[in-house]
Chains A and B, each alone.
Chain A
Amino acid sequence: MGRFDSAFWKFFPCPVLLYGKRLDLMSTNHLDIGSLYMVFGFWSVLAGTSLSSLIRWSLFNPGSKFLDPVCYNAVVTMHALVMIFFFVMPVMIGGFGNWLVPLMLQVPDMQFPRMNAFSFWVLPVSLYFMVVSAFVENGVGTGWTVYPPLSTFSYHGMCMDLAILSLHLAGISSIFSSINFMVTITNMRSVDGHLLALFPWSIKVTSFLLLTTLPVLAGGLTMLLTDRHFNTSFFDPVGGGDPVLFQHLFWFFLDLVYLSRFMFLVYKKKLLMEMWVCSMPCLNIGFLGFIVWGHHMFVAGMDVDTRAYFSAATVIIAVPTGIKVFAWLATMMGSKVSTEAPMLWKLGFIALFTIGGLTGLILSSASVDVTLHDTYFVTGHFHYVLSMGAVFTILAGFTHWSPLFSRVMMHRQKMKSHFIAMFLGVNVAFLPHHFLGLAGMPRRVVDYPDQFWFWNKVSTFGSHLSTASLLLFVFLVWEAFMSHRPVVSVRNSSSSPEWSVAVNLPKHAALESAKMSGGSI
């Protein structure tokens, strides 16, 4: 820990100790806010992984001896909500976005720094509500999709309201941060005509998707609240409403959140690829993402023609995604592929995300989906794209840019061991899910028939390994700060401008900007 201005205190802001020396609570600096997002996401991933361990412990043996069903449902719900809203989104967009976008654009800060800070500080409040909801009454056991009528009729009391308001607050945070990113990337441009780097471009597309779809989720959640407390009948058939309406609204939003993330995943590693090769597929995926939400609702009773349309539209999304995968591979072709940890995470991502995409292709067929909906096949599919797609990218970005964020180098060899442990762990954990799903094991069940015992045991062993690798990662972060190997130079002089602050990090980089277009001081 040592001195006040050592790396440790920079990375873990401690306002009590440093009030007056560090601007933690009141900072509007994008670097500080990015670090706050990272620390917040770090805590949330520990919480979310613990919840996932609880799930797998319960499923280790047939029979619900570990967790009772009510508690298990609450744990399953919390696991998903914490991971999506408090780990992946804050770290990817808040953490990496805030750190890198102003540096890559070479501008002093974001366009709206105060709003930036507000977007962050709403998140601990939101997390507070979410965590409290798990502890009052029976906890929220609806599953993270909070479908009515379970969420409107069966869960009376404060826990459901706490969870809904938590999602509202997280939505407010994301809407404002999306506005911030879009305006920053559009408005803060210099005139020398260089193309926008791929990472800010993809954040812009992502932010647009979030901006348009989060309010729809907010509307659906508000309808849930009024159905619960104000006698409305949006989702109540007795009054003429329809529970399927909520499914429409919810998935319209969620699909875009999924797609928005995959938009800019791999650009964290800054592969040198043609701007247009990857930006056009981004736009295509973004546009198509608006019109495919029904593939979550194939068994909700939609018309056969509707189901046929959604199947077709979903399959079409595979085309631009494939273009991107080929572009990533083409970038590496002919070059000396390093075996450093960031590259390993990237290779792992490409392979496993492709597998996840292929299982998604299987699920996109409405007729096949009827047998696989709400089975473990779906769980296997989205954990391949999330737990391996999103998480591998986050780790790739983190290992690549951690010298920049934390000013110290992480242990090179141990990071590779961490990769191997995590890779084995998540694959052993989630590959069996496909077998279980094809065999017919349903989702969100605390107990299962005895014939599913083998793959469940294997999957639990895998989850133990991946949890252990997360603990290894925690150790490696601590070790990096303890050993304090500060960055003194940048070896592979990357042309990307964010590395210009690798050795000497000022409060605001690029205070003096290049010649601007449009308007003067």
Chain B
Amino acid sequence: MMMKLFMPSSLSLFMSLKMKSLSYSNYTSRRMSHDILPRSPYHVLDPSPWPILMAVGLWGLAMTFICWANGVSCNMLLLGAGIAAMVVYGWTRDLVNEGTFQGFHTKKVQSGLTLGFILFLVSELMLFFSFFWGFFHSALSPSLEMGCCWPPVGIDCLDWSKAPLHNTALLVASSCTVTSSHKYLKAGNFNSAVAMLILTVFLSALFVKNQYGEYAWSSFTIADGVYGSCFFMLTGLHGMHVMGGTSGLLYCLVRMLARHFSSTHHLAYTFAIWYWHFVDIVWLALFFIIYIWGS
């Protein structure tokens, strides 16, 4: 039975492109929803193993982190990361099949997904908000231990007009290219859409490379007081979001080349673009508040 559970995912590269009835009906005695004529615009899902497996994967990831942070050996626990990666693959595969190939993503479902993604972006915004709060808490009333001034005594701030400005230009340009790619897609111009998306990914790779250089050559580290803590926590969290956003855009590139997107229905791409704009706006906030105002 476990074999049957995992068999689809190993053959899915081929199976996912066919309109095969993907059902876990080996485990249920009732009919699957796509066998029954839908009587509402909503998507009633089949049972799915991914939620509980994701929980197991998160368990593994959390245990790995705790063991690593406390110096305990954590080799076995990377299994958790492996399970999580497999679940992300399987869950995404199911989503793509349901939306692109099986037609479950009606307008109502699409509007629901859109609203859900916007709310997710709101939660990400609040996460950054908490770190900005921490920054302002220390920057607006610098304590005695740092010399009652901001930046603290001894910190050589990065010059905002050099690499950070370059990075800002890169990210804003990548937002422009990704928007133009979206417009090309909506107009039906496939080749230009792909080209613009490749350019976007290239620009974001440049950004990541620049940031890595900045990190390697900066005169202060995360351990250098609250300035270093705030700076590297904020830029590091942003960097992780950039890498996540880039991998999302790459994923969309692969799907675009596989002709999954139509000129009217390409929700995953829309979300990836919004995420990219969000990352860009957070960078602008970082740039103006941390780099310029904070130096």
Contacts and interface: CB of A to CB of B under 8 A. Distances in A.
A512 B42 CA distance: 10
Contacts of A193: none
Contacts, number: 238
A118 B123 contact: no
Interface string B266-278: 0000000000000
Q: Could you say which of A115, A128, A230, A233 has the most chain B C-beta atoms within 10 Å of its C-beta?
A: A233
A254 to B, nearest CB: 13
Nearest to B95: A114
B213 interface: no
A108 interface: yes
Interface stretch (A91-99, A237-245, A309-317): A237-245
Interface residues of A, number: 86
Interface stretch (A258-266, A336-344, A356-364, A513-521): A513-521
8 contacts: A111-B112, A114-B45, A114-B91, A125-B59, A211-B123, A225-B69, A237-B143, A239-B145
A437 to B, nearest CB: 31
B217 interface: no
Given A118-B51, A183-B115, 14 more contacts: A28-B45, A107-B40, A114-B91, A114-B94, A120-B51, A121-B55, A125-B58, A180-B116, A182-B115, A182-B119, A183-B112, A231-B223, A510-B40, A511-B40
Contacts of B187: none
A251 interface: no
Contact of B42 (A27, A108, A226, A249): A108
A20 B226 contact: no
A112 interface: yes
Residue in A158, A218, A248 whose Cβ sees the most chain B Cβ within 10 Å: A158
Interface majority SS (helix, strand, loop, mixed), chain B: helix
A118 B50 contact: yes
Interface of A: 19-21, 23, 25-29, 107-109, 111-115, 117-118, 120-122, 124-125, 128-129, 157-158, 161-162, 165, 168-169, 172, 175, 178-180, 182-184, 186-188, 211-220, 222-223, 225-226, 228-234, 236-242, 245, 248-249, 507-508, 510-513, 516, 518-521
B138 interface: yes
In the A-B complex, the 6 residue pairs with the smallest Cβ-Cβ separation, listed nearest first, are A519-B107, A219-B130, A117-B51, A232-B229, A231-B223, A118-B51
Contacts of A178: 119
A236 B107 CA distance: 51
A215 B55 contact: no
A1 B106 CA distance: 43
A241 B135 CA distance: 10
B39 A240 contact: no
Nearest to A157: B70
A220 B44 contact: no
B121 to A, nearest CB: 10
B111 A122 contact: no
Nearest to A28: B45
B47 A27 contact: yes
A521 B106 contact: yes
Given A118-B55, A125-B55, A219-B130, A240 B227 contact: yes
Given A25-B49, A179-B120, A242-B137, A165 B145 contact: no
Nearest to B131: A219
Interface string B107-150: 11111100110011011101101110110011000110110000
Interface of B: 24, 27-30, 38-42, 44-52, 54-56, 58-59, 62, 65-67, 69-70, 72, 91, 94, 106-112, 115-116, 119-120, 122-124, 126-127, 129-131, 133-134, 137-138, 142-143, 145-146, 152, 222-230, 232-233
Nearest to A246: B134
Contacts of B38: 521
B54 A188 contact: no
A28 B106 contact: no
A518 to B, nearest CB: 7
Contacts of B69: 161, 225, 228-229
A516 B108 contact: yes
Given A183-B116, A240-B142, A124 B55 contact: yes
A122 B58 contact: yes
A218 B27 contact: no
B242 to A, nearest CB: 18
Contacts of B66: 158, 161-162, 165
A226 B143 CA distance: 20
Contacts of B108: 187-188, 516, 518-519
Given A107-B42, A219-B131, A518 B226 contact: no
Given A158-B70, A233-B225, A245-B137, A26 B42 contact: no
A169 B62 contact: yes
Contacts of A187: 108, 111-112, 115
B41 A519 contact: yes
B152 A508 contact: no
A296 to B, nearest CB: 16
A122 B28 CA distance: 23
A215 B124 contact: yes
Nearest to A116: B51
Given A183-B119, A231-B222, A109 B44 contact: yes
A174 B20 CA distance: 35
B147 to A, nearest CB: 9
Contacts of B94: 114
